[in-house]
Chain A
């Protein structure tokens, strides 16, 4: 069913055999899956998608799983791409679309990556998984591991949104809360995985999450009738969604499904954690560790993305840009999106709306360009962040519990 040929290091180019367990290349570079695109072009057409499943697995010929029985799916992907009615008018954009990843299983785009990665764990016989996460990846891993009957070990910052903590516990994961950031969580997983026999599912440290995430790129093309938009806003924490889509665009061109046109790739970060924006502005190939990272958009709190060079490549090659917005701006914009369109977005999605506003105002984007904004998660998972805007008077923990159990 698939066309995988090998894995290739994104730094040194070394080839690695598929069908084996891999993390990073010996040189430290993330591995990317390569396919026989010429063969796929002969055997797989855009038209055949009409009969495909209504999930991201409709693109299975370009995904790494070789046995259909390995697939662990909770219905991820094929999320709506909605044309905005009022939000565009508010900011002066006439052709504005939002891809709502918040409707995925566990409420974020992370479901795509973990559906793919956990399916590969099943295929390769891996039983125990560990992940450092800023929040939503942990929820998705816990859910897919539960669906597959695998054991999961999760390391998250202690102040992660309550929704993520409760979800992971409910899915039966072993959860450890850490004082620090996702980078500190990552160090713990790295230092303990050998002794514990865990497979490290950190994004890009295993080669398959990116493959799941790239389906966001296939979908936007399919949903827009195989013509990519002029600009694409993506909230870049680890940035792998953007890297994956960039890879998907190249694959689709090789398949003859789209032409050479690419959207301006716009990486959006938080003012409190903007390593990629800094590197972009300084013209550097790699980012530097961002000290004292802090933002309500937990998914953007990644002080040093492993794939920074790949994000920067995509942004530069596409003629896009990297831009930071403040927490205040992203919450304001998130509320605009909710009131104008009926979509309650994660602050990360709000960040993209805020960035759009700035780039329209600066003239970087024109009013009639076709623009797609990615909302990567559901606002319901960020009640702590939004409750600062909508406070209620009785807020003690006991009151909440009492209110739930005994109506009063």
Chain B
């Protein structure tokens, strides 16, 4: 069990007897100076953990909404270093768990060990690399563990039983279950395969299980919350940021929408 912020957060959720709400936003969207304020709005709205997306020019796991968010962030000058600075800024006022959500390429360019050291120094709690398969993750896991960072891996409905075991073995903090195949993005109904995946993953691990991809309404959050330990919402939040970018109501509207989504997990 992880002893860091992520582990303690899930421990609290167990005591409260409710599933958690995980919010994804792309760091630097619409601009680096907005991100710490948006994270504070998410926290006030009821987010339990923040996934900070590192914008990447070729985000192949992401759908159009998050791709546009990454474009805005990159145009605003967001680099890996800038994301770390945002994390430091967030840490001045918040202890909410922060998970870096990114791809292998930016990490390798920064240097694995360098990034792990810098991440801890800036208050990051763990990483999730969407395009790194667990079979090829030895060096990465070593570098992260050496700094006490959690490593979260993805499992999908298409993952084989062997893959699921490896994901369970090498994940710390929690396991991220992809509710369906395809890219990130909102959809009308959550595939029943999510429930099956939760059940098959539960057989191989006691780690908390978070379900994401395609969850965009309070009703969906509530229904996924019945089967999972945490529910991840990304695109719907990024779309709210997109709609309100430049508006003085950006933070208030993001907070209100988060409260609407997360509220159903607290009753």
Contact = CB atoms under 8 A, between A and B. Distances in A.
A294 B8 contact: no
Interface string B1-26: 00001001101100110000000000
B95 interface: yes
A292 B12 CA distance: 10
A355 B95 CA distance: 36
A155 B92 CA distance: 11
Interface string B110-147: 00000000000000000000000000000000000000
A343 to B, nearest CB: 30
A403 interface: no
A380 interface: no
A184 B94 CA distance: 14
Interface string B76-96: 000000000000000001111
B53 interface: no
A158 B96 CA distance: 10
Interface in B206-221: none
Nearest to A157: B12
B28 interface: no
B93 A184 contact: no
23 contacts: A155-B95, A158-B12, A159-B12, A159-B16, A174-B93, A176-B93, A176-B94, A177-B43, A177-B94, A177-B95, A178-B95, A179-B9, A179-B11, A179-B12, A179-B48, A179-B95, A179-B96, A180-B5, A180-B11, A184-B8, A188-B95, A292-B11, A294-B15
A124 B264 CA distance: 50
Interface in B21-79: 43, 48
Nearest to A155: B95
Contacts of B93: 174, 176
- Which interface residue of B8, B93, B95 has the most chain A CB atoms within 10 A? B95
Interface residues of B, number: 14
B97 interface: yes
A294 B14 CA distance: 12
A178 B93 CA distance: 11
Nearest to A180: B8
A179 B15 contact: no
- Which interface residue of B12, B16, B48 has the most chain A CB atoms within 10 A? B12
A184 B95 CA distance: 11
B8 A179 contact: yes
A188 B15 CA distance: 22
Interface of A: 155, 158-159, 174, 176-180, 184, 188, 292, 294
A158 B94 CA distance: 11
A159 B5 CA distance: 15
A178 to B, nearest CB: 4
A180 B94 CA distance: 13
A361 B9 CA distance: 41
A390 B259 CA distance: 26
A316 B48 CA distance: 44
Contacts of A176: 93-95
Given A176-B95, A179-B9, A180-B5, 14 more contacts: A155-B95, A158-B12, A159-B16, A174-B93, A178-B8, A179-B5, A179-B11, A179-B12, A179-B96, A179-B97, A180-B8, A180-B12, A184-B8, A292-B11
A169 to B, nearest CB: 11
B156 to A, nearest CB: 28
Contacts of B48: 179
Contacts of A158: 12
Contacts of B94: 176-177
Contacts of A184: 8
A180 B95 CA distance: 10
B20 to A, nearest CB: 10
A178 B48 CA distance: 11
A339 to B, nearest CB: 30
B148 to A, nearest CB: 13
Contacts of B43: 177
- Which interface residue of B8, B15, B16 has the most chain A CB atoms within 10 A? B8
B96 to A, nearest CB: 8
A178 B8 CA distance: 9
Contacts of B5: 179-180
A158 B16 CA distance: 11
A159 B8 CA distance: 13
Contacts of A159: 12, 16
A180 to B, nearest CB: 4
A304 to B, nearest CB: 15
B91 to A, nearest CB: 9
Contacts of A180: 5, 8, 11-12
- Which interface residue of A158, A176, A177, A179 has the most chain B CB atoms within 10 A? A179
Q: Which 6 A-B pairs have the closest CB atoms?
A: A179-B9, A180-B8, A178-B95, A179-B8, A179-B12, A176-B95
Contacts of A294: 15
Contacts of A292: 11
Nearest to A185: B95
